[in-house]
């Protein structure tokens, strides 16, 4: 194969490799740690949620301009599925996380987000009768140990000091809603990942407008300046478009149970990006957590293949 042909085939190989897709989606979602810190005082939470879906829909519409009308028509029979998917998975789950952040601390939020793979595995067993063998549960346990280590900053005993409050309940509800979204991807109608994403993005746009308007009506909205625009563009292009399409495609190929374990990479990447971009200190527990998460992913995937 020529060098030019090899280059042309690279995107195809990436599209067919669910592990690369999942790792990349985890990486760009981990970048939300940096984006969230930059967003403080630059753009308010609901303004960020609402405006990003406006940007996303414009970008996707431009990308699909030659077949936009045809795609929208093809989605018409599936709005009963697409509307709740976009509202729950893209709007409400994020709103729950933002609301929870007002009442709880970062340690709690990190640990609660780390239970997402467990919720997906448990949900797959309840909804579809998918059994997770002991090897997979061992892998999940190891990855969660890594998440707990990084969330408690190398002091696991701090978990005993945590107290449950309504912020924790909001955050857990947000994780449960996104786990349900992941499980429901298995019932996705027969359509391309881009067409499906366009449908749920439009649903998210419609469902996020009321929350953004209420925030503005209450006088709590912060509209973005240049720095807020940088955050908005990152969240729209990478987190909302590229990351979601990679995630949806990977779930199509290997199923929600096996894909869900990769969510544990998100806080690890978030910590590493915080060190690289925000110049935060890299501690021993970051390295230990990364080793545990990667080991758990390998063991869980080994169990999934068996």
- Per residue in 123-178, pLDDT (tens digit) is 887 777 777 677 777 877 887 787 777 666 677 666 666 655 677 778 788 888 98
Q: Identify the pLDDT of residue 223.
A: 92
- Residue 12 located in a structural domain: no
- Residue 6 located in a structural domain: no
Burial class (CB in 10 A: 0-12, 13-18, 19+), 153: middle
- Residue 1 located in a structural domain: no
CB 149 within 8 A of CB 110: no
Task: Check residues 22 and 285 and name the one with the higher pLDDT.
Answer: 22
- Residue 153 located in a structural domain: yes
- Per residue in 11-70, pLDDT (tens digit) is 555 567 788 888 888 888 877 777 777 777 788 888 888 898 899 888 888 887 778 888
Query: 294: domain range?
Result: 31-305
- Residue 97 located in a structural domain: yes
Distances (CA, A) of 102 to 75, 140, 158, 166, 167: 37, 29, 21, 10, 7
What does the block give as tokens for 11? Answer: 């995107």
Place of tokens 């793979």: 117
Task: Check residues 1 and 262 and name the one with the higher pLDDT.
Answer: 262
pTM over 0.75: no
Nearest-angstrom CA–CA distance, 122 and 141: 13
Nearest-angstrom CA–CA distance, 298 and 259: 12
Nearest-angstrom CA–CA distance, 181 and 138: 24
Query: 219: how many CB neighbours lie within 10 A of its CB?
Result: 6
Q: Which of 141, 140, 162 has its CA nearest to residue 151?
A: 162
Q: Which of 150, 106, 180 has its CA nearest to residue 265?
A: 150
- The answer, yes or no, to whether residue 205 has pLDDT greater than 80, is yes
Q: State how many domains the chain has.
A: 1
What does the block give as tokens for 265? Answer: 């990479």
Least confident of 7-11, 216-220, 290-294: 7-11
- Residue 225 located in a structural domain: yes
- Residue 300 located in a structural domain: yes
- Per residue in 209-246, pLDDT (tens digit) is 998 999 899 998 889 888 889 989 998 999 888 887 88
- Residue 18 located in a structural domain: no
């Amino acid at each position: 194969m020529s060098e030019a042909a090899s280059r042309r085939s690279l995107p195809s190989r990436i599209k067919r490799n669910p592990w690369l897709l999942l790792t990349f989606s985890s990486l760009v979602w981990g970048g939300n740690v940096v984006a969230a810190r930059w967003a403080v005082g630059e753009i308010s939470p609901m303004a960020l949620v609402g405006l990003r879906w406006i940007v996303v829909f414009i970008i996707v519409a431009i990308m699909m301009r030659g077949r936009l009308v045809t795609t929208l028509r093809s989605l018409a029979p599936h709005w009963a599925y697409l509307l709740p998917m976009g509202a729950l998975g893209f709007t409400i789950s994020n709103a729950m996380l933002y609301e929870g952040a007002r009442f709880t601390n970062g340690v709690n939020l990190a640990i609660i987000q780390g239970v997402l793979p467990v919720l997906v595995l448990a949900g797959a067993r309840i909804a579809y009768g998918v059994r997770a063998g002991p090897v997979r549960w061992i892998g999940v346990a190891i990855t969660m140990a890594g998440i707990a280590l990084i969330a408690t900053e190398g002091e696991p005993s701090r978990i005993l000091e945590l107290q449950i409050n309504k912020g924790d309940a909001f955050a857990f509800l947000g994780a449960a809603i996104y786990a349900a979204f992941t499980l429901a991807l298995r019932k996705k109608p027969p359509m391309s990942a881009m067409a499906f994403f366009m449908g749920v993005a439009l649903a998210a746009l419609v469902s996020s407008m009321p929350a953004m308007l209420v925030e503005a009506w209450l006088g709590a909205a912060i509209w973005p300046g240049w720095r807020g625009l940088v955050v908005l563009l990152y969240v729209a292009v990478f987190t909302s478009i590229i990351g979601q399409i990679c995630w949806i495609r990977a779930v199509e190929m290997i199923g929600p149970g096996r894909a869900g374990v990769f969510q544990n990479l998100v806080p690890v990447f978030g910590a590493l990006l915080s060190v690289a971009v925000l110049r935060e200190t890299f501690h021993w527990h970051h390295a230990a957590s990364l080793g545990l998460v990667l080991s758990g992913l390998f063991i869980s995937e080994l169990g999934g293949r068996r």
